[in-house]
Amino acid sequence: MSAERSVRFYELGGPDVLRLEAQPERQPGPGEVRFRVQAIGLNRAEALFRRGEYTQKPQLPSRIGYDAVGTIDAVGPDVTDVRVGARVATIPAFTMSQHGVYGDVAIVPARAVVPWPEALSAEQAVSLWTAFLTVWGGLIQDGALGRGEWVLLTAAASSVGIAAIQTALAQGARVIGTTRSESKREALLRAGAEHVIVTESEDLVARVHELTGGHGADVVFDAVAGAQLERCAQAMADRGRLVVYGYLGGMSPALPLVPMLRKALTVRAHSIFRVTSNPALLSEAVAFIQNGVAGGAFRPLVDRTFPLERIVKAHRYLEGSEQVGKVVVLP
């Protein structure tokens, strides 16, 4: 019997709980597809999931991982729209405990695969979909970002942040990115941000108003929440749109009621699952992203790669917040 390698964890905790194990090779069930993994993309959500701090709770022992690319080698019963030999990428549309993709073989629901764009390498393709789907849903749909508007992107050095920079530029918007580290300023400027604010040494509110000539940010796309939410609201323009898609700063932020009332702000929370669970929205988003890739506007930035055998080290690096772009693991 053939064997496969997969990463699982048996207890909640830090990177050291992850184990790379050899197991008998599985077969896809009804509605599922199996593919040989060529690259795996890491997400902050997986670090939170591993610790039991994500919105989706692990069922121990648990698999882990949302993003992978590879070539389909088997399909389960009732699968008619995905063929053996197709090169595909996964999207977050499954429970990680059951279908986590960290390994050299992955089995996921057929509805959770999309085409691997031919123009992209495996490392780029695995860095594409979760980031740009998040941005499409949050910045384009919920944020309604328009040409000439100012957008403030927090945690701009993440893979989602880089995707948001590229998407905002494609929309004709003006981009201000934030980072806690001075060392990332030049990388974000090279990635296309018009301005970068280092929040550990600069006053966020004052700098945004200075850079925008007192207008403020029309849209804030926020991965942090927590105490920074109040400062983001203060930095916004009248009738601005604040879209929160993450909680790196904590899960219990105070609602910035005073600036909301004073400026008539719109505040929304966005989850990628609102897109991946809705076939019509997903189809629209996929077309938008494919067009961006085909036109050269969307090119994911890969920060660093690790071999699968060093998955623990890869997770340590992910949680160290040193990266600009996506951390990728290669089986």
Q: Where in the chain is the domain with CATH 3.40.50.720?
A: 131-273
Helix, strand, coil fractions of the chain, as percent rounded to 5: 35, 30, 40
- b/e for 220-247, b at 16 or more Cβ within 10 A? bbbbbbeebbbbbbbbbbeebbbbbbbb
167 to each of 6, 161, 162, how far by Cα in Å? Answer: 34, 10, 9
Mean pLDDT of 213-234: 93
pLDDT in tens, 58-76: 999 999 999 999 999 999 9
pLDDT reading at 190 higher than 70: yes
Q: How far apart are CA 282 and CA 293, in angstroms?
A: 16
Q: How far apart are CA 79 and CA 136, in angstroms?
A: 28
pLDDT in tens, 114-170: 999 999 999 999 999 999 999 999 999 999 999 999 999 999 999 999 999 999 999
Q: 203: helix, coil or strand?
A: coil
Q: Where in the chain is the domain with CATH 3.90.180.10?
A: 3-128+300-330
* Beta bridge partner(s), residue 34: 74, 107
CB of 99 closer than 8 Å to CB of 107: yes
Average pLDDT of every residue of the chain: 95
pLDDT in tens, 264-299: 999 999 999 999 999 999 999 999 999 999 999 999
Q: Establish how many alpha carbons lie within 13 A of residue 80's alpha carbon, considering only the half-sphere containing its beta carbon.
A: 1
- 246 falls in which pLDDT band (50, 70, 90)? confident
- 47 falls in which pLDDT band (50, 70, 90)? very high
Mean pLDDT of 222-227: 88
- 1 falls in which pLDDT band (50, 70, 90)? low
- The DSSP H or E segment spanning 125 is helix 122-125
Task: Give the position of tokens 């040989």.
Answer: 36
* Beta bridge partner(s), residue 152: 176, 220
Q: Give the pLDDT of residue 15.
A: 98
Q: Which of 19, 104, 35 is nearest to 330 (CA)?
A: 104
- 183 falls in which pLDDT band (50, 70, 90)? very high
- 228 falls in which pLDDT band (50, 70, 90)? confident
Question: 131-273 — its CATH code?
Answer: 3.40.50.720
CATH superfamily of 3-128+300-330: Medium-chain alcohol dehydrogenases, catalytic domain (3.90.180.10)
pLDDT reading at 253 higher than 90: no
Global confidence as pTM: 0.95
pLDDT reading at 249 higher than 90: no
* Beta bridge partner(s), residue 198: 179
